[in-house]
Amino acid sequence: MSDYGEMKWSVRVSARDRDGVAVYARKKRFDVGSPLAFDVEEEATSAFEYMLGAIGADLAAGMKELCHRRRLEVDNVEAFVEGELDNPLAHLGVVGEEGHPGLSSLAVKVFVETLEEEDDIRKVWDEMLERSPLYRTFSAIARFDMRLQIAM
Amino acid sequence: MTKPIILGAVLYDPKVSVIWDIIREYFEDNGVPMDVVFFTNYELQVESLMNGHIDIAWNSPLAWVDTERRANNGCRAIAMRDTDRDRCSHIIVKKASGIASPADLKGKTIAFGAKDSPQARLIPIQMLHEHGLKAGEDYTAKRFDVLVGKHGDHIGGELDAFKALEAGEVDASCLLDLNWEAWTKDGTINTAEYDIVATTDHFDHCNFTVLDSFDTDREKAFLEALFAMDYGNPDHKEMMDLEGLKKWEPGRTSGYGPLTTGCELISYFEGR
């Protein structure tokens, strides 16, 4: 750990309401529903969906920001993130099921809209992955299929 | 606090848990506290019912027959969906095959659903036997064991059986009437190419099963809430649509004869 390793980030989570929880981060608040949503009609965003969103946001925002710093003009960056659990039935406590409800794989496609040279964009992509906190965390614990697609 | 009724249900897909969440809430709101326990297969569920770990089991027809056998008839089917009553299964063939009657299936290869599927294996076996075709002797059976233990709740086995027919790997395939209706409507099966060559007798499908020892007051409370579900009530309609019914009916056991016979013919429970 570096000398800066003691820097920490924190959120406060309150489950006062029956349906879901409120998360307070710095001076902001956002609401989270159940750990995992099986109902497409469920209104609240689940904790698992927030996690997928956080991974996509880390990559898309990281890519956009780093391209800007390298003076590469990018119109848009989009990430499509798909996560698979080892066995979602384990989360429901189904008697007799094997496995666990933890993450088993992640598939991420990142689309970059730009007129810049592909090689330049790919260099930034590699650097961004090196520097991405969430990519570095999740690629160590789950199968991580990453694809970059550059659209002119 | 009233002791919750513990209800068992088998899950083949996590999305099905959503239906049971809605049903559980409905019972809670109607003064009948309920806990739902999910099982990965019907054998475990029947075992739990027999051991008294659950009060009510949402049983497949085969799980009902199994419970009846293990409890020496000391159990009751207390309710079922309107759509559980008077179902039938079909055996279908390609029109161009020249197979025009059940007798023509002699010596042919028939695709069945999962080993434990009442509608796509055990009841068709009974029907074929009635037409003089014995399992293991008069035709070759090709089984599609998708999610064994879930008693054919998952349509995968029946669909794979039909695909084998489509590919010319078998001469006939078995499926539930509701799947025939759905797949001819959505284009999975083209009725210009396929025909029904045999249909089973009517049979009943799932039911809520209790042992005779289940407390009568708790059973009464459960049934009153269940039968109070009204398809005309918008608050109930979604729940009933998800569970595939328009009305809850009292349980009856007269519709399990073909399945019981099918199980006996192949000594199903002995060889399981």
Question: Is pLDDT above 90 for B200?
Answer: yes
CA–CA distance, B7 with B37 (Å, rounded to integer): 6
What does the mean pLDDT of chain B come to?
96
Q: Count of domains in chain A? A: 2
Q: How much is the pLDDT for A5? A: 63
Do residue A72 and residue A39 come from a single domain? Answer: no
CATH classification of the domain holding A124:
3.30.300.20
Give the gap in angstroms from C-alpha A87 to the nearest C-alpha of chain B.
10
Do residue A75 and residue A21 come from a single domain? Answer: no
Mean pLDDT, to the nearest integer, of B255-269? Answer: 96
- DSSP 8-state assignment for residue B118: I
CA–CA distance, B12 with B153 (Å, rounded to integer): 8
DSSP H helix total and E strand total for chain A: 4, 6
pLDDT band per the 50, 70, 90 thresholds, residue B1: low
Q: How much is the pLDDT for B167? A: 98
Q: Which residue has the tokens 């529903």?
A: A33
Out of B18-22, B100-104, B220-224, pick the least confident.
B18-22
User: B195 by DSSP, 3-state: which?
Assistant: strand
- pLDDT single digits (tens) B122-166: 999 999 999 999 999 999 999 999 999 999 888 899 999 999 999
Do residue A143 and residue A86 come from a single domain? Answer: yes
Do residue A109 and residue A60 come from a single domain? Answer: yes
pLDDT band per the 50, 70, 90 thresholds, residue B67: very high
Do residue A41 and residue A75 come from a single domain? Answer: no
Q: How much is the pLDDT for A20? A: 85
- CA proximity to B62, closest of B15, B113, B17: B113
- Taking only residues 117 to 146 of chain B, the set having a beta carbon closer than 8 angstroms to any beta carbon of chain A reads none
A4 lies in some domain: no
pLDDT band per the 50, 70, 90 thresholds, residue B2: confident
> Is B40–A88 a contact, with Cβ atoms under 8 angstroms apart?
no
Do residue A105 and residue A120 come from a single domain? Answer: yes
Mutate to test the interface with B, among A19, A86, A95, A97 (most CBs of B within 10 A): A95
Which CA distances in Å does A141 have to A109, A131, A134, A136?
A: 19, 17, 11, 9
User: B111 by DSSP, 3-state: which?
Assistant: strand
Residues of A in contact with B37 (CB under 8 A): 93, 95
Mean pLDDT, to the nearest integer, of B85-99? Answer: 97
Do residue A95 and residue A107 come from a single domain? Answer: yes
Do residue A87 and residue A19 come from a single domain? Answer: no
Closest residue in A to B242 (Cα) is A39
Mean pLDDT, to the nearest integer, of B182-201? Answer: 97
Q: How much is the pLDDT for A79? A: 97
* Buried/exposed B164-196: b ≥16 CB within 10 Å, e otherwise: bbbeeebbbbbbbbbbbeebeeeeebeeeebee
Question: Is pLDDT above 80 for A1?
Answer: no
Do residue A22 and residue A66 come from a single domain? Answer: no
Question: Is pLDDT above 90 for B70?
Answer: yes
A147 lies in some domain: yes
Domains of chain B, CATH where assigned: 5-84+204-253 (3.40.190.10), 89-199 (3.40.190.10)
pLDDT band per the 50, 70, 90 thresholds, residue B213: very high
pLDDT band per the 50, 70, 90 thresholds, residue A18: confident
A60 lies in some domain: yes
Do residue A85 and residue A20 come from a single domain? Answer: no
Do residue A52 and residue A114 come from a single domain? Answer: yes
Which residue segment(s) compose the domain that A35 sits in? 11-45
From the list B11, B18, B48, the residue facing A94 with the nearest CB is B11
ipTM, two decimals, is: 0.79
A2 lies in some domain: no
A124 lies in some domain: yes
- pLDDT single digits (tens) A111-129: 999 999 999 999 999 999 9
Higher pLDDT residue, A40 or B144?
Answer: B144
pLDDT band per the 50, 70, 90 thresholds, residue A41: confident
Q: Which two tokens stand for residue B144?
A: 């599609």
Do residue A142 and residue A69 come from a single domain? Answer: yes
Contacts of B146 by beta carbon, 8 Å cutoff, 6+ apart: B113, B114, B154, B156, B157, B160
A1 lies in some domain: no
CA triplet B95, B100, B103: central angle to 5 degrees? 140
pTM, 2 dp: 0.87
Residues B265, B266, B268, B271, CA torsion sign: positive
What does the mean pLDDT of chain A come to?
94
- pLDDT single digits (tens) B148-158: 999 988 889 99
Q: How many Cβ atoms are within 10 Å of A92's Cβ, its own excluded?
A: 19
Mean pLDDT, to the nearest integer, of B171-183? Answer: 97
Question: Is pLDDT above 70 for A100?
Answer: yes
